[in-house]
């Protein structure tokens, strides 16, 4: 693996792109200080520059060098970094992180991943890595290498990390004194954040139409096939994305996110099963109801966007 990390390091240093694993999903990364490299990501993903990129760091010291960090930010950092939490932070004037990755804003989504390969890659270079998910804009997120499109594969060096451990993207939030705005639901749940912070901390979910967080478009995370969610029946020409035990059946194919009703298992399987169903010979995808709490809230968020 060290040999591949060295190759990936040189690819990034020359302004080119690397696909690499994180604990959440696969990312498409470049030098976050290089505007031409960032342009390549937007172009390759067919992503509007109004949809910002998350910036990945190797250490808290590297984040502190570039950003202002509040007391509440620090509390969250101690609880959830390294890990699947993205904090919207204000850039310091001395920061060399390019303005294009954040839609010319001085507010940037910052994260320190916990995945060993991601951290090894970050530690091999002297700049942060800008990295959205390794997929074409609005399409399904990649949690396995075989999910990644040929177009992305042709234009990036790939680090293989197997299947993603969590399967859902990072939770994106912004702090204001004693208030937290969740701008994208993710692998860290609202309930988990509430449980670990003071009761005085107000938490608001505002995960639509934010220009600060990726994944906020109404149409996002979408398969090629049309989706019906919260179904109580399955049409003859539909495949089924099921959850738990029920009387739903598909005449074509079915994948159950978790027959035991386990939302952690469902989260890990979610994008992989959607990719598999999307290749089936059917005319649509029916999705069973999923409880709207914990990680179920994140899954339902993705399904609502995918069904638009």
Q: If you average pLDDT over every residue of the chain, what do you get?
A: 95
Give the strand pairing for 129-130 and 107-111.
unpaired
Instruction: Considering the chain, tell me which residue range(s) the CATH 3.90.870.10 domain(s) occupy.
Output: 2-205
Task: Starting at the earlier edge strand, list the strands of the sheet with 238-242.
Answer: 227-228, 284-287, 238-242, 254-256
pLDDT digits (tens, 9 = 90+) for 27-58: 999 999 999 999 999 999 999 999 999 999 99
Which residues, other chains included, contact 69 with Cβ-Cβ below 8 Å and sequence gap of 6+?
63, 77, 89
**Among 17, 39, 13, CA closest to 27:** 17
Question: In this model, does residue 218 exceed pLDDT 80?
Answer: no
How much is the pLDDT for 261?
A: 98
Give the strand pairing for 227-228 and 284-287.
parallel
Q: What is the mean pLDDT of residues 131-152?
A: 95
pLDDT digits (tens, 9 = 90+) for 54-66: 999 999 999 999 9
Q: What is the mean pLDDT of residues 181-186?
A: 96
Rounded percentage of the chain residues whose pLDDT exceeds 90:
91
Rounded percentage of the chain residues whose pLDDT exceeds 70:
97
Higher pLDDT, residue 230 or 138: 230
Class of the CATH domain delimited by 2-205: alpha beta
């Amino acid at each position: 693996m060290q040999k591949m990390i060295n190759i990936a390091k040189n690819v990034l240093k020359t302004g080119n792109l690397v696909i690499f694993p994180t604990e959440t999903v696969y990312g498409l990364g470049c030098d976050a200080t290089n505007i031409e490299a960032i342009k390549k990501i937007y172009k390759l993903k067919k992503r509007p520059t109004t949809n910002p990129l998350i910036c990945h760091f190797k250490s808290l010291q590297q984040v502190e060098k570039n950003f202002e960090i509040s007391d509440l930010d620090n509390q969250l950092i101690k609880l959830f970094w390294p890990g699947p939490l993205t904090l919207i932070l204000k850039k310091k004037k001395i920061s060399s992180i390019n303005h294009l990755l954040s839609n010319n804003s001085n507010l940037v989504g910052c994260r320190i991943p916990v995945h060993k390969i991601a951290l090894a890659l970050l530690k091999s270079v002297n700049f942060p890595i800008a990295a959205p998910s390794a997929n074409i804009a609005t399409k399904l997120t990649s949690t396995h290498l075989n999910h990644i499109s040929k177009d992305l594969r042709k234009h990036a060096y790939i680090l293989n990390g197997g299947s993603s451990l969590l399967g859902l993207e990072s939770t994106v939030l912004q702090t204001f004194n004693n208030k937290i705005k969740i701008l994208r639901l993710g692998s860290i749940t609202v309930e988990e954040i509430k449980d670990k912070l003071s009761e005085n901390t107000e938490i608001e979910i505002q995960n639509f139409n934010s220009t600060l967080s990726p994944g906020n478009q109404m149409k996002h995370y979408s398969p090629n096939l049309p989706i019906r969610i919260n179904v109580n029946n399955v049409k003859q020409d539909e495949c089924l994305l099921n959850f738990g035990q029920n009387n739903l059946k598909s005449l074509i194919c079915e994948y159950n996110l978790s027959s035991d009703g386990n939302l952690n298992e469902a989260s890990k399987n979610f994008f992989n099963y959607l990719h598999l169903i999307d290749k089936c010979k059917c005319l649509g995808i029916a999705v069973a109801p999923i409880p709207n709490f914990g990680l179920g809230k994140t899954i339902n968020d993705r399904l609502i966007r995918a069904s638009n």
